[in-house]
Structure 1
């Protein structure tokens, strides 16, 4: 009897699901506009992407990429510094490419959503108010005008595949749009701050790390409610809640240091 391929559920919630059968990924999405974006973005992207095998709405079939994910949120990455630098270089190639024809989110949209999510986090006692407030202050640095580039929009470490030190492909393009280059770099390094220097070395241009840190806070603040409502746990070790707490501690230490005069005595 021939060996039967097993079905592996990669991710599933009420909006979409991805399953793997052998070397084929089947993506099922209730919103076909997201699939439209994904297929078009992969065709435009100047970096490796999965091969589209076929599409029959609501299903998109993609060939598996060789290699392994660059890492996982909440887990130490075993990938080399060179692999992380290669991911930064791939992001730079994408950001230098011609813009996609569709727009991304505006500053006003992001700022309005941020206000609503911060209010929800405090009102529902998901996080202490001081943690939310400090991260809201950090996030303000990301809310500045930027020159739009071709962004992946969800450049998580699990979406970047490597074989040794080489990038073999990037998955999940449904959020691709015009946007801030530093948002992609922040998403890539979220939960892996120790890898930021490697990514920036590969990216190869002058970047303000404080804006990337601001996007760490902003993305996490915006993501917690969605994760909870879709059955994920943002409080898992190393994930969004831990990122927000670490960012708040860092901001508190910076505030303390800024309130000290030379010689170490506090001004209050």
Structure 2
């Protein structure tokens, strides 16, 4: 008899695995709609959508294994990282999706959100003021006009599956839309800076490294409090707080 595995669970969504089927239960139907549409449009390997019902999306398991996880060394080869970079480039060069997406922030909105979050991190005693101030300074480079691209929006390395040196699929498209391509690249390499060269070799075009690194600070500053409040450990070795400390 198949067992039900809880893959991830918090107040916004739950992902369950039953055999070779994943069930995503989301309080926001719009996120599931975006995911199904993005999977259909993205010019990269994606999981098969088996069926959709209100609040639930069923998808098939992917072949291979995760490229890695935040906070853990990746056993994947440099060629696998480069293949992932090439897949990301294909996505970013694809026609823009018809919806805007959650990651489309103009510079003023991003600056205001970041400043507000930095104040809360210090006021609530989550992070020391010096660490926050230094990373807010670095983050400034990401606050600039950018050309919209088709982005995944939450391109953690755990969402990319490989078999040997081949990318077999990319998961979790609920944040997809129009956004800054460097946000995707920064999310993908967060906490895995040693693989950045392999990723960019596969990506195959010049990238502003100061902006990419600025997005590391942005993503970590904006994520720490949410992670703590939802029961995740942003202070674990190699995770978001370590990323912020590495910028000091």
Bucket of the pairwise TM-score, normalised by the shorter protein: over 0.9
TM-score (norm: length of structure 2)? 0.97
What corresponds to 2:132 in structure 1? 132
What corresponds to 2:224 in structure 1? 224
**Contact kept? 2:49, 2:59, Cα under 8 Å:** yes
Residue 46 of structure 1 pairs with residue 43 of structure 2: yes
For 1:247 and 1:7, locate their aligned partners in 2 and report how far apart those are by CA, in whole Å: 40
For 2:66 and 2:150, locate their aligned partners in 1 and report how far apart those are by CA, in whole Å: 22
Structure 1's unaligned 5+ residue stretches are 249-268
**Contact kept? 2:126, 2:225, Cα under 8 Å:** no
Q: CA RMSD in A?
A: 0.7
Residue 112 of structure 1 pairs with residue 109 of structure 2: no
Structure number with bigger Rg = 1
How many Å apart are 1:210 and its aligned residue?
A: 1.4
SS in 2 for 1:42: helix
What corresponds to 1:258 in structure 2? none
What corresponds to 2:247 in structure 1? 247
For 1:48 and 1:34, locate their aligned partners in 2 and report how far apart those are by CA, in whole Å: 20
Point out 4+ residue stretches in structure 1 off by more than 4 angstroms. Answer: none
What corresponds to 2:238 in structure 1? 238
How many Å apart are 1:209 and its aligned residue?
A: 1.3
For 1:129 and 1:152, locate their aligned partners in 2 and report how far apart those are by CA, in whole Å: 32
Question: Given the alignment, which residue of 72, 77, 90 partners 2:74?
Answer: 77
How many Å apart are 1:227 and its aligned residue?
A: 0.6
How many Å apart are 1:229 and its aligned residue?
A: 1.4
What corresponds to 1:184 in structure 2? 184
> What is the aligned residue count?
245
Matches within 5 A, 1:1-268: 4-103=1-100, 104-248=104-248
Structure 2's unaligned 5+ residue stretches are none
**Contact kept? 2:148, 2:179, Cα under 8 Å:** yes
For 1:109 and 1:18, locate their aligned partners in 2 and report how far apart those are by CA, in whole Å: 31
For 1:32 and 1:241, locate their aligned partners in 2 and report how far apart those are by CA, in whole Å: 31
Which stretch shifts more, 157-166 or 229-238?
229-238
For 1:109 and 1:227, locate their aligned partners in 2 and report how far apart those are by CA, in whole Å: 21
Q: Deviations over 1:115-152 (max 9, x none)?
A: 11100111111111111000001000111111100000
**Contact kept? 2:106, 2:145, Cα under 8 Å:** no
TM-score (norm: length of structure 1)? 0.90
